[in-house]
Amino acid sequence: MSTYAVTVEQLIEASHPKVYQVVTDMEEHRRILPKQFESLEVLKGGKGAGTVFRLKMNVLGNRSTLEMTISEPEPGRVIQEKDAKAGVTTTWLLTPTDGGSRCRIRLTSEFRSKPGIAGWLERFMVPPVIRSIYRQELQQINQYLSSDGAAG
Protein backbone atom coordinates (compact mmCIF):
# COMPACT_ATOMS: atom_id res chain seq x y z
CA MET A 1 0.00 0.00 0.00
CA SER A 2 1.38 3.38 -1.03
CA THR A 3 1.67 6.26 1.44
CA TYR A 4 2.61 9.93 1.35
CA ALA A 5 3.60 12.35 4.09
CA VAL A 6 3.12 16.03 4.86
CA THR A 7 5.50 17.87 7.24
CA VAL A 8 5.60 21.38 8.67
CA GLU A 9 7.84 22.85 11.34
CA GLN A 10 7.79 25.98 13.47
CA LEU A 11 9.60 27.47 16.42
CA ILE A 12 7.09 28.26 19.18
CA GLU A 13 7.71 31.19 21.52
CA ALA A 14 6.85 29.16 24.62
CA SER A 15 8.53 26.59 26.83
CA HIS A 16 8.46 22.87 26.05
CA PRO A 17 6.12 22.08 29.00
CA LYS A 18 3.54 24.62 27.77
CA VAL A 19 3.72 23.30 24.19
CA TYR A 20 3.48 19.70 25.41
CA GLN A 21 0.36 20.64 27.44
CA VAL A 22 -1.41 22.11 24.40
CA VAL A 23 -0.51 19.16 22.16
CA THR A 24 -1.50 16.39 24.59
CA ASP A 25 -4.42 17.86 26.57
CA MET A 26 -7.44 17.65 24.29
CA GLU A 27 -9.29 20.43 26.17
CA GLU A 28 -6.38 22.74 25.36
CA HIS A 29 -5.81 21.27 21.90
CA ARG A 30 -9.33 21.94 20.63
CA ARG A 31 -8.68 25.68 21.21
CA ILE A 32 -5.92 25.81 18.59
CA LEU A 33 -7.53 23.80 15.79
CA PRO A 34 -7.98 25.56 12.44
CA LYS A 35 -11.55 25.98 11.17
CA GLN A 36 -11.27 22.93 8.87
CA PHE A 37 -11.44 20.79 12.01
CA GLU A 38 -15.15 20.96 12.83
CA SER A 39 -15.05 19.10 16.14
CA LEU A 40 -12.86 17.15 18.53
CA GLU A 41 -14.67 14.74 20.84
CA VAL A 42 -12.78 12.88 23.56
CA LEU A 43 -13.86 9.23 23.71
CA LYS A 44 -11.37 8.00 26.33
CA GLY A 45 -8.89 9.73 28.61
CA GLY A 46 -8.18 13.28 27.58
CA LYS A 47 -4.51 13.84 28.32
CA GLY A 48 -1.54 12.07 26.76
CA ALA A 49 -0.99 8.42 25.92
CA GLY A 50 -4.09 6.25 25.83
CA THR A 51 -6.40 9.12 24.90
CA VAL A 52 -8.85 8.32 22.11
CA PHE A 53 -10.60 11.15 20.28
CA ARG A 54 -12.87 11.63 17.28
CA LEU A 55 -11.87 14.41 14.90
CA LYS A 56 -14.32 15.66 12.29
CA MET A 57 -12.95 17.78 9.48
CA ASN A 58 -13.90 19.38 6.21
CA VAL A 59 -11.03 19.70 3.75
CA LEU A 60 -11.74 20.87 0.20
CA GLY A 61 -15.42 20.13 0.72
CA ASN A 62 -14.64 16.54 1.70
CA ARG A 63 -15.96 15.72 5.18
CA SER A 64 -14.18 12.97 7.05
CA THR A 65 -13.96 11.58 10.56
CA LEU A 66 -10.92 10.05 12.21
CA GLU A 67 -10.80 8.13 15.48
CA MET A 68 -7.31 8.80 16.77
CA THR A 69 -5.45 7.03 19.58
CA ILE A 70 -2.55 8.86 21.22
CA SER A 71 0.71 7.14 22.08
CA GLU A 72 4.04 8.56 23.22
CA PRO A 73 6.92 6.54 21.71
CA GLU A 74 9.27 9.01 23.46
CA PRO A 75 7.30 10.48 26.37
CA GLY A 76 7.33 14.26 26.35
CA ARG A 77 9.10 14.42 22.98
CA VAL A 78 7.29 12.25 20.40
CA ILE A 79 3.49 12.13 20.43
CA GLN A 80 1.61 10.06 17.85
CA GLU A 81 -2.04 10.18 16.90
CA LYS A 82 -3.10 7.17 14.85
CA ASP A 83 -6.22 5.93 13.11
CA ALA A 84 -5.16 2.50 11.82
CA LYS A 85 -8.45 1.94 10.00
CA ALA A 86 -8.10 5.16 7.98
CA GLY A 87 -4.35 4.72 7.53
CA VAL A 88 -3.43 8.07 9.09
CA THR A 89 -0.62 8.67 11.59
CA THR A 90 0.27 12.15 12.82
CA THR A 91 3.52 12.62 14.74
CA TRP A 92 4.38 15.64 16.86
CA LEU A 93 8.12 15.99 17.51
CA LEU A 94 8.76 18.52 20.31
CA THR A 95 12.32 19.81 20.74
CA PRO A 96 13.18 22.31 23.48
CA THR A 97 15.48 25.11 22.26
CA ASP A 98 17.18 28.22 23.63
CA GLY A 99 17.72 26.73 27.07
CA GLY A 100 14.11 25.55 27.23
CA SER A 101 12.49 28.96 26.69
CA ARG A 102 11.19 27.98 23.25
CA CYS A 103 10.14 24.76 21.56
CA ARG A 104 10.41 23.57 17.96
CA ILE A 105 7.47 21.52 16.69
CA ARG A 106 7.75 19.25 13.68
CA LEU A 107 4.30 18.00 12.69
CA THR A 108 4.17 15.12 10.20
CA SER A 109 1.18 13.16 8.97
CA GLU A 110 1.47 10.02 6.92
CA PHE A 111 -1.53 9.01 4.83
CA ARG A 112 -2.37 5.78 3.02
CA SER A 113 -3.12 6.77 -0.57
CA LYS A 114 -5.80 5.45 -2.84
CA PRO A 115 -4.76 3.17 -5.70
CA GLY A 116 -4.43 4.25 -9.32
CA ILE A 117 -5.09 7.67 -10.78
CA ALA A 118 -7.16 8.72 -7.74
CA GLY A 119 -4.10 8.08 -5.56
CA TRP A 120 -1.85 10.02 -7.91
CA LEU A 121 -4.24 12.99 -7.84
CA GLU A 122 -4.52 12.75 -4.07
CA ARG A 123 -0.72 12.74 -3.61
CA PHE A 124 -0.50 15.77 -5.91
CA MET A 125 -3.39 17.87 -4.56
CA VAL A 126 -3.73 17.07 -0.86
CA PRO A 127 -0.24 17.83 0.58
CA PRO A 128 -0.26 21.59 -0.16
CA VAL A 129 -3.71 21.92 1.43
CA ILE A 130 -2.77 19.89 4.53
CA ARG A 131 0.53 21.79 4.81
CA SER A 132 -1.41 25.08 4.83
CA ILE A 133 -3.81 23.81 7.52
CA TYR A 134 -0.92 22.56 9.68
CA ARG A 135 0.90 25.89 9.33
CA GLN A 136 -2.26 27.58 10.60
CA GLU A 137 -2.39 25.15 13.52
CA LEU A 138 1.23 25.82 14.51
CA GLN A 139 0.70 29.57 14.21
CA GLN A 140 -2.40 29.26 16.39
CA ILE A 141 -0.42 27.30 19.00
CA ASN A 142 2.18 30.08 19.00
CA GLN A 143 -0.47 32.81 19.30
CA TYR A 144 -2.42 30.92 21.96
CA LEU A 145 0.65 30.38 24.11
CA SER A 146 1.68 34.01 23.68
CA SER A 147 -1.72 35.22 24.93
CA ASP A 148 -3.09 35.42 28.44
CA GLY A 149 -5.63 32.66 27.67
CA ALA A 150 -3.12 29.82 27.74
CA ALA A 151 -2.68 27.46 30.65
CA GLY A 152 0.45 28.20 32.62
Domain that holds residue 112: 3-146
What is the structure's pLDDT at 143? 95
What is the structure's pLDDT at 94? 98
What is the structure's pLDDT at 114? 82
What is the structure's pLDDT at 149? 53
3-state per-residue secondary structure call for the chain: CCEEEEEEEEEECCCHHHHHHHHHEHHHHHHHCCCCEEEEEEEECCECCCCEEEEEEEECCEEEEEEEEEEEEECCCEEEEEECCCCEEEEEEEEEEHHHCEEEEEEEEEEECCCHHHHHHHHHHHHHHHHHHHHHHHHHHHHHHHCCCCCC
What is the structure's pLDDT at 9? 97
Q: How many domains does the chain have?
A: 1
For residues 48 and 85, give the distance between their C-alpha atoms in angstroms, rounded to a whole number.
21
What does the pLDDT average to over 51-62? 89
Question: Is 58 part of a structural domain of the chain?
Answer: yes
**Is the overall model pTM greater than 0.85, yes or no?**
yes
What is the structure's pLDDT at 103? 97
CATH number at residue 31: 3.30.530.20
Question: Is 152 part of a structural domain of the chain?
Answer: no
The overall average pLDDT reported for the chain is 91
Looking at the predicted structure, is the pLDDT value of residue 4 above 70? Answer: yes
Residue-wise pLDDT tens digits, 58-116: 887 788 999 999 999 999 999 999 999 999 999 999 999 999 899 999 999 999 888 88
For residues 72 and 92, give the distance between their C-alpha atoms in angstroms, rounded to a whole number.
10
Question: Is 19 part of a structural domain of the chain?
Answer: yes
Confidence bin at 1 (pLDDT 50/70/90): low
